[in-house]
Structure 1
Amino acid sequence: MDTLNISPALLDWAASQIGKSLEDLASLVVSGKGIDRFVVGELTVRQLEKVAKVTHTPFGYLLLDTPPSIAKPRLPDMRQVVSPDPLGPDFFEVLDDVIAKQNWYLDYLHDIGADPLPFIGKYSTSDDPCLVAKHITETAGIDFALKKSCANQSEYFRALSESFESIGILVFKNSIVKSNSRRGLSVSEFRGFAICDEYAPAVFINGKDAEAAWIFTLAHEVAHLWIGESGVSDIPSPKDFRPGKNVESFCNSVAAEMLVPKDEFLSLWAGSEIEAIDRASRHFKVSKLVVGRRAFELGKISRSAYSQLYALSYKSGGSGGNPYATIPVRNSKKVTNALVKSAMEGSILIRDAARLLNITPDTVTNLYKKNIRAYA
């Protein structure tokens, strides 16, 4: 079979798009002595086709002499983990997808004469995190009664998402790229991101992350909106925990105060560490990890105790479930409802609504039939 001479620099670039080294990519495509030929750019057409598939790179790009200069959406990288995996094509495809939905919704809001949201960028990192947290909870109507109405953390996450969407924030949570179950998102790359906009701010939660992290990530990304700072975020492990005066640490502090208010938390802290953490977890409807993080910040437990909670809490989430329940969660309930309603009214073609929601036209119609009262 004929051998192609491919630029090693181009192959290295393709590998970096999925957070791999050239050698790592070679081992995914070939084996044995083929690895030595691969790293110097000697590949067959079939091997190059596999590279394109594995790295989600257009085949034509791999025939160039130098890596292409691809303009990617600009979103500040605010991740705190030391040497995180590079943001790859899965992340950027998800970001493109969210931006496409956000842009459509902006046009929709313009058509109905919506007003800008007053809370975007209302505060800055020079303000008191407790003040910002108080304003967020009051604006979104988040109080103890809301917590009490939820039987568990999953219900509380759903309630928080609905509260934030009710004031104009688009909340997306997905564990895969669009609707492709074969392309699971990487927690090593990112846990969430926020896109500020005065009319249609958006936050995305990586559903592949542990369920224990969803609530904190949601609160953290919403805090980004209140200080007008878009960005990609993660949640640092205990070894990466670096409090300081920066956007990420500020948003962490706001999120912590939103979910586990300091004074209320301290009034509950009694007995052994295990008892106190368990009691606070039930009271605040958040995971033991979130409580442990708060306890560590306030000097109630050691770093090693927090590390143990961290290790026990992180188990990847999934993407299963009833599609008619998961589609609005993946695409923002607010956006989904607006698209389905517009499609049924003829303001947008059903096929275009389906494309934006990454579903079939029949599914758009079925969504309407299953929830017809919401579109009345």
Structure 2
Amino acid sequence: MAHTVQINPGMMTWARETAGLSLEEAAEKLALKDSAKLTAVEKLRAIEMGERPLTETLLQKAAAAYRRPLVSFYLPHPPQRGERGEDFRTIAGSRGSVRENALLDALVRDVKARQQLLREVLEDEDEELRLPFVGSATMKRGSQPVVSSIRAALAVTVDEQRAAKDPVALFTLLRAAAEKTGIYVLLLGDLGSHHSDIGENIFRGFALADDVAPFIVINDNDAAPARAFTLMHELAHLWIGESGISGPLGSVSENAIERFCNKVAGEFLLPRETDPLLPDLNNANVAEVITATAHIARTWNVSQAVVTYRLANTGKISDELAAAVFQAFAARWREQKQRTSKSTGSGPSYYMVRRHRLGTSLLNVVRRALQGETLTHTRAAKILGVRPTSVDTLLQERSFAA
């Protein structure tokens, strides 16, 4: 006879809803079957109403399907505090559906768990070097000291930025430099499959400030030219020691932290010495701004949105005009994504994509820990977000520089 568990049935409803799943979707994920008397959905509804017993096996399936620790189901009541915590100040607000925001919450929880596991690995290997730049800056001193500190830590010069081939090459340069400092930069826009995609309109990126294993996650559903700005924005979060989720660059944010981090990112990618070269476009229309920003963007290997943000920040265009231009860029990106999704052809291998998303730094740490037998394949799989059987192939696909 199956073992039953005694929990507040409302916890099942809470876990399902905060995972962004309907009753129908959840019943399928839990592998519930129709019977002569009840459909799978009716069975799940009865369990959530406390009218049908919950088995230990089904609870374990729910913990996996809803991406919740098993112990959380034994709480007497659903927690009142938001999933992202008070330290996650998001400008995304109520954008997107309940499902999309639930997916984002699940992604944040997942990455936090990976970060904690990695920190434990570093501590076990006596590699938990404290990173002095995390939390080293304050907003009171202004953006330029932070820009200068980040540039010194990354050791990337203005000339190197301009010499990059294109925005993708610039992001690659900045990401590699950030990882050399001890920061883990991941490209994640879903929970493991395209069925759980989280749009760039929900989040652009987020930072988990930690002085041993700081994580930056960049939504790879966003346009490739936008990633350098997101990376620099999240680095600013680390420098001021503030974890946070960044929403789309759709306006000049009213949130003080987001506005500050955007300013740091903009001034790093388009240094202040370029300010006199930025045209005054206060009397221009949206089309004219788009045309004017294209040349500057190509020269500095940044997105046109970055140029637009700097124009607004320096008073060369109004915030209202900047918002309209941002909307035009967003519409253009949506159209581009639609065209790309319709194209066919073979792409890179699963493992190649995974390696790119995870970054060399994270892969190297896991690889060394496995070789040193301080990490099991099961824990390695959790850190990397893959199945235990995929770990060796992922790490052996190519050699990683130490």
Give your verdict on TM over 0.5: yes
Does the Cα contact within 8 Å between 1:210 and 1:313 map onto a contact in 2? Answer: no
Q: Residues 298-353 of structure 1: CA distance to partner in whole angstroms, max 9, x if unpaired?
A: 22234464345323423267997433332234334312221123223433233432
- SS of structure 1 residue aligned to 2:298: helix
1:159-170 → structure 2 map (5 Å cutoff) = 159-170=173-184
- SS of structure 1 residue aligned to 2:172: helix
Does the Cα contact within 8 Å between 1:212 and 1:289 map onto a contact in 2? Answer: no
Q: In the TM superposition, what is the alpha-carbon distance from 1:199 to its structure 2 partner?
A: 1.3
How high is the TM-score relative to the length of structure 2?
0.72
Instruction: Report whether the alignment pairs 1:291 with 2:307.
Output: yes
Instruction: Report whether the alignment pairs 1:80 with 2:91.
Output: yes
Instruction: Report whether the alignment pairs 1:17 with 2:18.
Output: yes
- Give the corresponding residue for 1:205: 218
Aligned pairs, how many? 345
Aligned equivalent of 2:261, options 247, 251, 276: 251
Q: In the TM superposition, what is the alpha-carbon distance from 1:261 to its structure 2 partner?
A: 1.5
Give, as a single letter, the amino acid of the residue that structure 1 aligns with 2:145. L
Identity %: 25
Give, as a single letter, the amino acid of the residue that structure 1 aligns with 2:392. T
Change (3 A) 1:343 1:144: same
CA distance in 2, matches of 1:253, 1:282: 20
Q: Structure 1: which 5+ runs fail to align?
A: 1-6, 30-43
1:49-198 → structure 2 map (5 Å cutoff) = 57=66, 68-69=78-79, 72=83, 74=85, 76-81=87-92, 83-85=94-96, 88-110=101-123, 111-177=125-191, 179-198=192-211
Q: Structure 2: which 5+ runs fail to align?
A: 1-7, 27-37, 49-61, 282-287, 342-346
CA distance in 1, matches of 2:376, 2:364: 15
- SS of structure 2 residue aligned to 1:204: strand
Does the Cα contact within 8 Å between 1:173 and 1:206 map onto a contact in 2? Answer: yes
- Give the corresponding residue for 1:278: 294
CA distance in 1, matches of 2:242, 2:164: 30
Query: Which stretch has the larger CA shift, 180-189 or 265-274?
Result: 265-274
CA distance in 2, matches of 1:27, 1:359: 26
Does the Cα contact within 8 Å between 2:189 and 2:221 map onto a contact in 1? Answer: yes
Change (3 A) 1:155 1:236: closer
Give, as a single letter, the amino acid of the residue that structure 2 aligns with 1:339. V
Instruction: Report whether the alignment pairs 1:46 with 2:45.
Output: no
- SS of structure 1 residue aligned to 2:211: coil
Give, as a single letter, the amino acid of the residue that structure 2 aligns with 1:298. T
- Give the corresponding residue for 1:353: 380
- SS of structure 2 residue aligned to 1:171: strand
CA distance in 1, matches of 2:112, 2:139: 26
- SS of structure 1 residue aligned to 2:361: helix
Q: In the TM superposition, what is the alpha-carbon distance from 1:165 to its structure 2 partner?
A: 0.8
1:318-357 → structure 2 map (5 Å cutoff) = 321-357=348-384
How high is the TM-score relative to the length of structure 1?
0.76
- Give the corresponding residue for 2:30: none
Does the Cα contact within 8 Å between 1:75 and 1:231 map onto a contact in 2? Answer: no
CA distance in 1, matches of 2:127, 2:385: 27
CA distance in 2, matches of 1:172, 1:58: 20
- SS of structure 2 residue aligned to 1:229: coil
